Amino acid sequence: MHLQPPITTVLLDVDGTLLDTREFILQAFEHSIAHHGLAYPGRDHMAAQVGLPLEQIYATLHADLEPALVESHRSFQEENQHLAVAFPGTAEVLTQLRERGLRLAAVTSRSRRTSVRSLEVTGLFGLFDAIVSAEDAPALKPDPAPLRQALAVLGAGTAGAVMVGDTAADILAGRALGIRTVGVTYGFGGRSVLEHSPDAVIEEIAELVAALGF
């Protein structure tokens, strides 16, 4: 029987996995789209886009206005960090993983301009050994580049690594890198993340420690 090496490194998506940023993100969409006089496609439509690069999302609404829409979005988020909150028990779970000697990295497609601050205001920043934001890799998830960058910063290999996330982009990026994946059903992707066959599934962040075999 083939035995996989034990988990030593955990890469975690931020929005919808560590942080409940539904209002933080959807209100930013609403603000930016209204500010530029465009028709709002609705919350369900916009929520389904989360996980894709912000520039790509806005380009589908109005290619010429994409840079201005992105700027309005990020400015709103800078001014409304209170809308980003950690899911209950997140700090405790990350602390347990660290106590077991695991290396942790946050890997997000959100700009460093707001991602680092969100982790700071929610009290999670100090629990990570590395944070990889949109500007830190040559491509965004589902490309494996951000995950590869996180492992490089940590000085870790792929054998003992796992990617935890709530969207298809997270699971596909992990698979592309050849690492194990944990799908989160409580985030933006909901149960649709199951369509991509993650190696394990959790319904709440408190289940992560057991899902990793600890």
Question: Would you call 20 a catalytic residue per the annotation?
Answer: no
Residue 137 tokens, joined: 């890799």
DSSP 45-73: HHHHHBTB-HHHHHHHH-GGGHHHHHHHH
Whose CA is closest to 177, among 146, 211, 153?
Answer: 146
Which three-class secondary structure state does DSSP give residue 161? Answer: strand
- Residue in the structure block whose two tokens are 């066959």: 197
- The alpha carbon torsion through 19, 5, 147, 205 (nearest 10 deg) reads -10
Token representation of residue 134? 């949109």
Catalytically annotated residues: 13
